Structure 1
Amino acid sequence: MNTNKFSKDVLEVLGFSNEEARRLGNAVIDPEHLLLGILREKNSKALIYLSRLNVDVAFVKQSIEKQIRQDKMIQDPIDLPLSPSSERVLKMGLLEAHGMKSEMIDTEHILLAILKEKNNLAANVLNNEGVQWDTLRSLFYEKNYPTSGPEFTDEEDEEAEEYGAGNKPDIFQKTQDRPGAGKDTPALDNFGNDLTKAALEGRLDPIVGREKETLRLAQILSRRKKNNPVLIGEPGVGKSAIVEGLAIRIVQRKVSRMLFDKRVVSLDLASMVAGTKYRGQFEERMKAVLNELQKNPDIILFIDEIHTLVGAGNASGSMDAANMLKPALARGEIQCIGATTLDEYRKSIEKDG
């Protein structure tokens, strides 16, 4: 496997893993040995985060060694091969690094991959210690991204939380100068509601209990491809609130750099359809919105009850909104968040692939 993308710590971990496998009399390097190697690398980020989670490192090491130790250690200083499971872990580590916008694979990415691979002793021991993939990844994300922007610090974050509606500290004032603010978008201004502007002005309530979903939404939107998420849930569970939470995080710069300059605009489909008696009127409005979205890639369109797009404006042979939107989405020219119920998703959206 190409090691050019491995950090210095990961290369040392691989060396330690080889030593641990030989010491324990094992013929191949399994994920358990990778974890033991991580535990030996004292300055690794992975070990630092495990310590923050109050993991008993000595107990983890003892539990693993007890179950994999053989009678005789391997004396010859040879490079042992990676097991198929360990090869999968390293490949998944590369994916974890890409997902966290890192050019190098570091120890925290390997640790996440071990937990995600699941069918290994190392993951089971960590799970028993209360370490889960999703909680650990959220911890990495929260620690790394809020302070990645040049205009945002932990001190400013704490200050921002002390301000309620109508009181805007400097961090919010700075965000008004972002490239996405103040663009010429008359159609979207008329038929939409700028949620980031509402968050900036303190008109959105804080979102409680939806941090995981909001974080996942931000991760999907940061992808290069397949970056148009759909929120599915029963009425009243808080789908729209998750999008509002995203707008708040964008304003506070608690997202990845890719989302710093984004505007989240909620489309009011009822306003677009209202008063369109004649053929072509709705199409004209929809095309105006699409043109503005294509000219302003910093805008993320939110469509609540997205299933209502199917058939919307389809009068006297006109094309409905869904068919007008699909080509631009397929080409990646616009970004969109949808929200609908499970039944409506299956009926109107899933069959269309």
Structure 2
Amino acid sequence: MDINLKTLISKLNDTTRAAATRAASICLGLGQYEVDVEHLFLGLIEQPGSDLAAIARQCDISLTGLEADLRREVGRFATGSARTPVFSRHLPLLFEHAWLIASLGSGQPNRIRSSHLLLALLTEPSLAQLAQRASKLFARFPLDRLKHDLERLTRGSTEAPEIQAEEAVGAGADAASDLTQAATRATPALDQYTTCLTARARDGKVDPVIGRDTEIRQAIDILMRRRQNNPILTGEAGVGKTAV
């Protein structure tokens, strides 16, 4: 599975997105070159009421101790950068596996929670090695329970689906209506993993294509054929293939 990083970031929920922003801030403040998993989990520890906090509380794992270990590990990273840091190669891998876990865990459109990030960290082999090197406390998280009893472990978390739903209702009737419609659509999987360009165009969310009338008409003609109806757009980079 190869998913664009921008797409993966868009799958983060409010808590994990705030943690990612905080991770970048920590990295920048230390003058380090890459935002890595350790920065991200430092950001997650700072998020009140998260899945991570709930799980640590249920399992009697000290987040203070985990934070100290992570800061010690981060202190070993190279410093001296005067530029905006970039994501390390570990974060896209972490986000990708977390999104897979989030998708498999629910039939409804979902977002990446901190529990998904934790489970991805502990189950993806290369990331698991990184976690064990960063802190031995990661080994105390019960992997089997995380896989099969996540709802109970995260009880009381602000990331829990029922809490998210209550916040959506509080945000207004329109938002609640949108959630209801999304849940009752006839094609939930298609709605979750694809974008309806027809609906976006109808809502004025697609920019107009200028100067490509001939190409568009040719594509339409090909699409209307009974056979040989798959248009192929070729050309140099930047000439407008994606726009067409």
TM-score by length of 1: 0.37
1:142 shift after superposition: 4.3
Q: Structure 1: which amino acid aligns with 2:87?
A: L
Residue 138 (1) aligns with residue 145 (2): no
1:113 shift after superposition: 1.2
1:129 shift after superposition: 5.3
The alignment yields a C-alpha RMSD, in angstroms, of 3.2
1:128 shift after superposition: 5.3
Q: Structure 2 CA distance, aligned partners of 1:73 and 1:123?
A: 20
Q: Structure 2: which amino acid aligns with 1:87?
A: P
Instruction: Report the equivalent of 1:120.
Output: 130
1:80 shift after superposition: 2.1
1:96 shift after superposition: 1.0
Residue deviations 1:110-144 (CA, integer Å, cap 9, x gap): 12112223121467525555114333233314457
Bigger Cα Rg: 1
Instruction: Report the equivalent of 1:80.
Output: 85
Q: How does 1:8-23 map to 2 (within 5 A)?
A: 8-23=14-29
Q: Which residue, out of 40, 61, 66, partners 2:67?
A: 61
Q: Which residue, out of 29, 36, 47, partners 2:42?
A: 36
5+ residue gaps, structure 2:
156-160, 162-188, 190-244
Q: Report % sequence identity.
A: 14
- By relative contact order (CA 8 Å, sep 6+), the higher-ranking structure is 2
Q: Structure 1 CA distance, aligned partners of 2:97 and 2:78?
A: 32
Q: How does 1:118-267 map to 2 (within 5 A)?
A: 118-121=128-131, 125=135, 127=137, 130-142=140-152
Instruction: Report the equivalent of 2:204.
Output: none
TM-score by length of 2: 0.51
Q: Structure 2 CA distance, aligned partners of 1:88 and 1:14?
A: 14
Question: 1:111/1:144 Cα in 2 relative to 1: closer, same or farther (>3 Å)?
Answer: closer
Q: Structure 1 CA distance, aligned partners of 2:142 and 2:29?
A: 28
On the 8 A contact 1:115/1:123 being kept in 2, the answer is no
Q: Structure 2 CA distance, aligned partners of 1:115 and 1:24?
A: 26
On the 8 A contact 1:114/1:122 being kept in 2, the answer is no
| Structure that is richer in helix per residue | 2
On the 8 A contact 1:93/1:112 being kept in 2, the answer is yes
Residue deviations 1:184-216 (CA, integer Å, cap 9, x gap): xxxxxxxxxxxxxxxxxxxxxxxxxxxxxxxxx
